Amino acid sequence: MHRVVGSRTPPGGAPHFAAGQVYDYRMSEVNLSSKKENAQQIECFQRNPRRLGLRSFLERLQMISRWLGPFLLSPLWLIPLSLAAQVSSDRLLHSSVEPQNWLTYSGDYSSHHYSPLQQISLANVKYLELKWVFQAQSLQKFESTPLVVDGVMYITQAPNDIVALDPKTGRVFWVYHYSPSPDAKPCCGRVNRGVAILGDTLFMATIDAHLVAIDAKNGHPVWNVKVAEASAGYAMTLAPLVIKNKVLVGVAGGEYGIRGFIAAYEAQTGEEAWRFYTIPGPGEPGHETWSGDAWSHGGASVWLTGSYDPDLNLTYWGVGNPGPDYNAAQRPGDNLYSDSVVALDPDTGRLKWFFQFTPNDSHDYDSVQIPVLIDTNWNGSTRKVLLWANRNGFFYVLDRTNGKFLSGWPFIKVNWASGLDEATGRPILTPHLPGTPTYPGGQGGTNWYSPSYSPNTGLFYISTWESYGAIFQGVPVEYKEGQHFGGGIITAPIPGEQIPNSMGRGPINTDTDAAGHGAVIAVDPHTGEKKWSFDMYDVNTSGILTTASDLVFAGGREGYFQALNAKSGALLWKANVGGETVAAPITYQVDGKQYVVIASGNSLFAFALRK
């Protein structure tokens, strides 16, 4: 079920919405039979207005107003006409040349989450002030990262609404409402992280595992396809990735024992083009890393957006944990391609290479983090590398042409492994006695929060959970379709303490520093050296944005949105936004003014420089 509503009531009162009905304000109460006559009168007036006397002029002006009135009152009239200039695949490829927009989930295909905009600088960032606030009609976590396209912002509000906003004022142009099936059961909140765009069509993945296409001009539905079965635990919470003429998505549901996959759909029709299963089936390479029928419900979900290298024509996606989450003894073997990065041909879905970060994972160390692509001088020669701050606590540098391990090191406290094999990057496991704490805990050293890479500083910026551990105990669990398939118990490493909850907390932080704390850290990806750390009292669930003016923007669970010096980590500015940040900030420019926006609590806040 869906509906589209505008921000103003049309003449004649509010419309009644039946199930699936779309109301278009632009043509309400227009006498269509008079269009030709009125158009002729407009044309006559434009040719020679002096022929008309004042009375005649006013009569015709009144007639024109009656014809155009409902259209001019419609909020759709206020949407910039430039939106008609479609977002081609070429524009997505070269998004860096139009920094006034934010065209993909991570800002560009390389997923730097970086902007070349410089109007907000180190010198004037202290003069940022709140310009507008959008209040979402949802009490779920606000995890969405907006797109900004030619003067229109598109953002999702949980669970599956799309809202078109004026990025200068926050005024709503239209709202598309999608009602998920009651069978939907996402593990970690009824949330959505954003949309993708191609041409004049928006694409949204839903928590009941559908992919929908929406007209970006008016919010009208274009097509709707079922991707997987929600009752079996499949869901989608990620923002899709558009590559050429295809829309790529991955499925969540590892906690319910799904068999994960990435799929591509034709943008024009919604027809499925290919499907890559993240657990190999019988007869496929990698199937031998599973025992018995564990592969058929082994998890390996894909719930964050991938990246793309157009020169290599490869798209990179992180794969989640195996199932059951915590009882590795129940599924002997490396369990490919769980906890891996896979490099796929976006035209065919064919696997080109993979790299597994955590074989036979027993700590829920999903490897779904955002793959960050850079071209850099590595040991004297230019290489295409992939940077990865992994949930397991290690930072990796891979050659993205072939998946070769180049370097890696821990970026937070790690004790489940003593290091990484210098040749293969495989973790060197450390023995663990039952009941002893493991670092990092189940939420990892970082998680799904977007990192950022600044080509200005050459540093990689990560939201981390510092000194955070847990005690893991695997327990046998029987797979039953649609039921939780965790297979374990997690407790705090310190008696009397509680484990920080990644799902959020109340208005008072009852966690202590002994349970861990959050930070934004800057790492040199060539050496592993931590350049600086901006510590927080609470754990950190915010994504990160960097800009060409050497600014770092990040939120946190303490209710603040702050700007830091990208080179030193010094705090330059902060604002109280009153709620937890579980999304990534973005920046854009409209009519010569740069804005920075962040979702916090249940609202979206937009800041710009004081006049």
Within 10 Å of residue 522's Cβ, how many Cβ atoms?
26
Coil/strand/helix, residue 243:
strand
- Name residues whose C-beta falls within 8 Å of residue 87's C-beta, 6 or more positions apart in sequence: 103, 149, 197, 198, 199, 200
Of the chain, the percentage scoring pLDDT greater than 90 comes to 78
**Cα distance between residue 416 and residue 430, in whole Å:** 6
Q: 389: buried, middle or exposed (CB in 10 Å: 19+, 13-18, 0-12)? A: buried
Length of the chain measured in residues: 611
Which of the two residues, 112 and 79, has the higher pLDDT score? 112
Backbone angles phi, psi at 71, to 5 degrees: -65, -40
DSSP category for residue 9? P
* Local structure of 35: helix, strand or coil: helix
pLDDT tens, residue by residue, 311-331: 999 999 999 999 999 999 999
Structure tokens at 447: 């998680």
Where does 390-487 show beta strands of DSSP type E? 394-399, 405-410, 417-420, 427-429, 452-454, 459-466, 471-474
Strands 201-205 and 196-198 turn out to be antiparallel
Say whether 538 is catalytic.
no
- Which one, of 168, 138, 251, lies nearest residue 601 by Cα? 138
In CATH terms, the superfamily for domain 82-609 is Quinoprotein alcohol dehydrogenase-like superfamily (2.140.10.10)
What does the alpha-carbon distance between residue 368 and residue 339 come to, in Å, rounded to a whole number? 8
| CB neighbours of residue 397 within 10 Å | 24
Q: What is the DSSP string of 156-172?
A: EETTTEEEEE-TTT--E
Edge-to-edge order in the sheet of strand 2-6: 2-6, 172-178, 161-165, 152-157, 147-149
Whether the Cβ atoms of residue 146 and residue 604 lie closer than 8 Å to each other:
yes
Q: Could you tell me the end-to-end alpha-carbon distance of the chain, in angstroms, rounded to an integer? A: 44
* pLDDT over threshold 70, residue 55: no
Which residue has tokens 């920046």?
A: 587
Q: Report residue 153 CA to chain centroid gap.
A: 15
Q: What percent of the chain is modeled with pLDDT above 70?
A: 84
Whole-structure pTM value:
0.88
201 pairs with which residues across the strands? Answer: 198, 215
Give the Cα separation of 398 and 419 in Å (integer). 16
Give the pLDDT confidence score for residue 509 in this predicted structure.
67
In one-letter notation, the amino acid at residue 50 is: R
pLDDT in tens, 435-460: 999 999 999 999 999 999 999 999 99
- Residues near 389 by Cβ (< 8 Å), separated by ≥ 6? 369, 395, 411, 445, 446, 451, 460, 462, 523
- pLDDT tens by residue, 328-344: 999 999 999 999 999 99
- pLDDT for position 344: 98
pLDDT attached to residue 33: 32
Residues near 282 by Cβ (< 8 Å), separated by ≥ 6?
Answer: none
Residue range 587-598, pLDDT digits in tens: 999 999 999 999
Choose the catalytic residue: 108, 309, 334, 364.
364
pLDDT surpassing 70 at residue 572 = yes
Q: How confident is the model at residue 504 (pLDDT cuts 50, 70, 90)?
A: low
Is the per-residue pLDDT at 32 higher than 60? no
**Both tokens assigned to 71:** 């259209």
Chain centre to alpha carbon of residue 289: 31
Instruction: Tally Cβ neighbours within 10 Å of residue 51.
Output: 10
With CA atoms as reference, report the closest residue to 127 among 608, 548, 585, 547. Answer: 608
Q: Where are the domains of the chain?
A: 82-609
Full DSSP string of 562-578: EEEETTT--EEEEEE-S
How sure is the predictor about 505, in pLDDT bands with cuts at 50, 70 and 90?
Answer: low
Rounded-to-integer distance, Cα 575 and Cα 242, Å: 34
- Quote the CA–CA distance of 99 and 86 in Å, as a whole number: 17
CB 309 within 8 A of CB 292: no
183 versus 25: the higher-pLDDT residue is 183
Say what the pLDDT of residue 26 is.
31
87, amino acid identity: V
Tell the residue number behind the tokens 């890696």, with chain if given.
Answer: 408
The 3-state DSSP class for residue 121 equals coil
Place of tokens 């259209």: 71
In the predicted structure, residue 22 carries a pLDDT above the cut 70: no
pLDDT in tens, 144-200: 999 999 999 999 999 999 999 999 999 999 999 999 999 999 988 899 999 999 999
Which pLDDT band, with edges at 50, 70 and 90, does 37 fall under? Answer: very low
Secondary structure of residue 184 in the 3-state scheme: coil
**Token reading at 592:** 């010569």
